[in-house]
Structure 1
Amino acid sequence: MRQRRRTFMIGGTGLVLCGMLGMLQFSVPGLGPVIGILVDVVFAAAVLLFAIGLSRAASVVARRPLGVAALAVVALLPLLVRAIQPILPTMDAATFDAGLDAYREAETILTAVFFVNLLVSLAAALLASLQIARAAVVPAPWRWAPLWALIVSVVAAVVPQILFAAAGSSGAQAFAEVALLLGAVGFLARTLGLGILALVLAARLRSDSVDVYRSA
């Protein structure tokens, strides 16, 4: 019980820190890229801690291989994508000047990377959420919270695209702020929201332990 409480407390603190840093990322001039890397590193560490736990009983997936693997992908994929960005082609004036074929090739590669990242991240997040619910380490109904956060994130990403498609090129600018707001909601749901929930559950585990001790 103690190791589970510590796992929830440390991992929850990491996710809360991710949410707070994410809100600062675009409000501190010049530090956006540095904060972005820090967010990915802290997020990876927190998710890996939840996956492995300070003990087998503290792992949110009970250290089942499929659950640990899915959470590892969720944790490390953002860092992997960030690591390969420098070697990816760019869609800039230099690429356009190199010729139409070079521009189309760069567009094809970037589109492929985008969709692979999207599909792999969604599949891993969905699988991890179901494995957390199945392991039943997190008390009900909160074991479904990662799935709820995933649904919020997907909705927050899809709704702006629907609005932009409906508005057309002339009215797309009107929905730009809505898209940014929904994007922030999706990000905070899977970081700050889940982090606060983990801290609350850690506090409940501590209270339960105290009650058991007193009754003994």
Structure 2
Amino acid sequence: MDLRTLRAQRLTWVAGGVLLLLSVAVGLAARGPLAGLSPGKDWLFTAAVVLLVIGIGRGGSITARRVVGTLATILLAIAPMTQSYWFTLLPDNTGDPNAAEDAWVLVATAYFGILLVLAVISVVEIARARVIPSPWRWAPLWVMVWTPVTYAIGLAFFSAAPLGTAVASFGAIFSLCGPAVGVAFLGVLAIVLGMRTAPAAAPDERWHHWFDDAGAGAPLPSIDSSDTESAARDAERGRRQD
């Protein structure tokens, strides 16, 4: 893997991870007087996902910019911001409670069904791209499973106990924080993997690129004492090639 790709991965993954963590922080803080911040969570999450799949440079894309995986992942990130439009599909007043309930079920099934299809395509394509090292390329799949499971468990606890009890409170917190933990995990993982890439170029490699760009006859840049011997060898090699 060349140095340019490693640098693209570092910039993309670290920046994307930071945005994911910010989306979690905003989502948890958007309560009470700060409820107006709630849309910011979705915008930050979408920005993080778009950055990670497009990349700062092609090498930074976690889907290798393959069309299917990239498009599915972006649509998956945008989907939460379209929830209000799905509600417009419900009839205003049917006069029949059963018909209204059926409409809710139909719209919810369509919405979450689309999310599931997009999520499956996304995690499979990210894993197939093999840009993220194993086993971490399967991390989106882990979070895809974790999110509905934790939400369902929390909802079960919340529904099984009277409001105001410790069990109901636990269920509400678990259903809220469970998905957030998954996103935070992906954010931390992206930052850690990004920091592990793009090591500093070795002295020989830095001089090699300098001679390619500037030519052997160009003035020599300043160097550290530790690089002097290596730089001299590369300079002599460049003059011989000319």
TM class, shorter-length? 0.7 to 0.9
Gaps of 5+ in 1: none
1:213 pairs, out of 202, 205, 225, with 202
Q: What corresponds to 1:49 in structure 2?
A: 51
Could you say which structure has the greater relative contact order, defined with CA pairs below 8 angstroms and 6 or more residues apart?
1
CA contact (8 A) 2:143 2:182 kept: yes
Which structure's CA Rg is the greater one? Answer: 2
Shift of 1:105: 3.9
Q: Number of residue pairs matched?
A: 198
- How many Å separate the matches in 1 of 2:54 and 2:99? 41
Q: What corresponds to 2:42 in structure 1?
A: 40
Using the size of structure 1 for normalisation, the TM-score is 0.80
The question of 1:100 aligning with 2:67 is answered no
Q: What corresponds to 2:143 in structure 1?
A: 149
Shift of 1:82: 3.3
CA contact (8 A) 1:19 1:187 kept: no
Larger helix share, 1 or 2? 1
CA contact (8 A) 2:157 2:168 kept: no
- How many Å separate the matches in 2 of 1:213 and 1:186? 43
Q: What corresponds to 1:203 in structure 2?
A: 195
SS of alignment partner, residue 79 of structure 1:
helix
The question of 1:17 aligning with 2:2 is answered no
CA contact (8 A) 1:157 1:186 kept: yes
- How many Å separate the matches in 1 of 2:41 and 2:124? 25
Shift of 1:214: 4.9
Percent sequence identity is 30
CA contact (8 A) 2:20 2:44 kept: yes
Which of 103-112 and 141-150 deviates more?
A: 103-112
Q: How does 1:72-91 map to 2 (within 5 A)?
A: 72-85=74-87, 87=88, 89=90
- How many Å separate the matches in 2 of 1:140 and 1:215? 30
Shift of 1:99: 6.8
CA contact (8 A) 2:153 2:175 kept: no
